[in-house]
Structure 1
């Protein structure tokens, strides 16, 4: 089943409006509060196969990939939601709706391009945006509990003088630490298509913006359902908190002159995981006959990507540093009684 959201007043296709947070009609400007809409949640089985869906707006029959949860009709542009992919077992628990509109995203991207000190001048104008697409990317949010047990030997060194002698006193300790650590809402993207490094760098999202999922939030945007289960991505979630665990262990062992860890046992379990959809703008920028891909956090406007570099600017930058170091050394030599050669 395909969900279309028609305006109750003029019959036009409605889309989610990031500016107002409501379902909006572009024709008569009717606004509907999604939180007050009665959206049925029908039970659904696994939807893993490519499906054909019928556009109720223009009558076209189109194909949808197994991971597609929301899309637009290629013929009339109507935004549709494939109900089987967002109901029952396939239903996300929460969604962070877009708060950065398409116009705001373009403006923010252009500003970001202008800040590239080592990018080519032509790139900095940001006037070659080929496409910008809003997509809800599937994530798992993990609540994790880690128990760490550490055995170590430590020393405290004290130096003091007595008469004409300098003494060094070293005390030795057997140290045991047991930590109970809790981490909430650790995000891991569950999409095959999205670059994991880019998704990680888009963080943080502001989870105060999480809303209970309702299909109308997807209207007018693309969306994917998860391609990895929470069990399959648990190891990646554990790796994301590893540095925080190490930092907590290190803090618990502070106060000693030296610490040597003899044994360490860390056990991390998944307390709870939530399937959520997070907003991302995909930006394709055409520069120098090559497409550069960027992603933007659809809630905060943060941009991530690898812009092209200007080798002329890089050479000038390093040349400026070298010249500055050379002059500094000359002035230092002069101050110490030397002179310019």
Structure 2
């Protein structure tokens, strides 16, 4: 089923506006709240299966999608459409964080971010090589977890003292036991096989207080995908993701020792709850020196992540400046200590 949201004023297509948080008509400027939008102005076309071809209700053109797409735009008339049959049943997201950064704001933020690159090539810093910028709702699983940790370690305290002509070193050994109960809430893991996991992890954190109950109008005018991996598929990854925080917390409870050696550390992490959400991401495709670079921007906070190209000339200049400064510093210290000229 393909969905269009029609403007009650002029009949043109409406899309979600990140600035106002409402459905907006680009033709007449009308804005409607998602919760109060009249079903009379929602048009639908039904498909019998998960075929990759749909018909645009607006102009009649074929809308071609891959099997994972849940929201897209008609390439002929530009209408934003939602493929609702791919958002139902087990594929229905529980919640969504709507875009709060518009395409224009995202482009401006990316340009500013490019200019901060001290070691990037000069041509790259102009940010005029953008091939495309796409707003996409990326599927994530969020987990509420409970971790129980049983820890046995040996801590030492070392004391050195002088008595007469002798220097003594005293080492005391302590058995350390910890039984820890930790809870983590809303730990996100992206569920799309197309997205780079490292990029998606670095986009965190989102403001999860802005999570809203999922409604299809939030997707109008953006791309969206359904998940490729279930919450059970991704459970090993979320366990690995929280492990470093568990290790850090355990370490923070064992302090005051000269050294700590772990004899046994058993951590049992279990899923209390998981739910499917869509999070907003601007994907920026940038062409430089005949190579395409991909960057991602958090569609709520504006945080940009990615690996820009590095200028070998700037790196050499930076290294020369550092080593030159070190050389001068050592000469000054030498003179202060009575040393001769180098």
Superposed displacement of residue 303, structure 1: 0.7
Matched, 1:145 2:146: yes
1:71 alignment counterpart: 72
Instruction: Provide the aligned C-alpha RMSD in A.
Output: 1.9
Instruction: Show structure 2 runs of 5+ residues with no match.
Output: 41-47
2:15 alignment counterpart: 15
| Separation in structure 1 between the aligned mates of residue 49 and residue 123 of structure 2, nearest angstrom | 44
CA change 1:14–1:128 in 2 (3 A) is: same
Superposed displacement of residue 311, structure 1: 1.2
Q: Aligned to 2:232, what secondary structure does the other structure show? A: coil
| Separation in structure 2 between the aligned mates of residue 256 and residue 32 of structure 1, nearest angstrom | 62
Instruction: Show structure 1 runs of 5+ residues with no match.
Output: 41-46
CA change 1:248–1:164 in 2 (3 A) is: same
CA change 1:149–1:134 in 2 (3 A) is: same
1:252 alignment counterpart: 253
Superposed displacement of residue 163, structure 1: 7.0
Matched, 1:26 2:19: no
Matched, 1:92 2:93: yes
1:44 alignment counterpart: none
| Separation in structure 1 between the aligned mates of residue 219 and residue 81 of structure 2, nearest angstrom | 8
Contact 1:39 1:215 in 2 (8 A): no
Superposed displacement of residue 66, structure 1: 1.3
1:207 alignment counterpart: 208
Q: Aligned to 1:103, what secondary structure does the other structure show? A: helix
Q: C-alpha deviations, 1:82-134, integer Å up to 9, x for none?
A: 01111222110010000000010010000001000011111111122221110
CA change 1:170–1:306 in 2 (3 A) is: closer
Matched, 1:230 2:220: no
CA change 1:338–1:158 in 2 (3 A) is: closer
1:43 alignment counterpart: none
Matches within 5 A, 1:167-316: 168-316=169-317
* Range that drifts further, 285-294 or 15-24: 285-294
CA change 1:118–1:16 in 2 (3 A) is: same
Superposed displacement of residue 139, structure 1: 0.4
| Paired residues, number | 335
Q: Aligned to 2:263, what secondary structure does the other structure show? A: strand
* Range that drifts further, 258-267 or 155-164: 155-164
| Separation in structure 2 between the aligned mates of residue 213 and residue 309 of structure 1, nearest angstrom | 41
Runs (4+) off by over 6 Å: 162-165
Contact 1:148 1:265 in 2 (8 A): yes
Superposed displacement of residue 189, structure 1: 0.3
Q: Aligned to 2:11, what secondary structure does the other structure show? A: coil
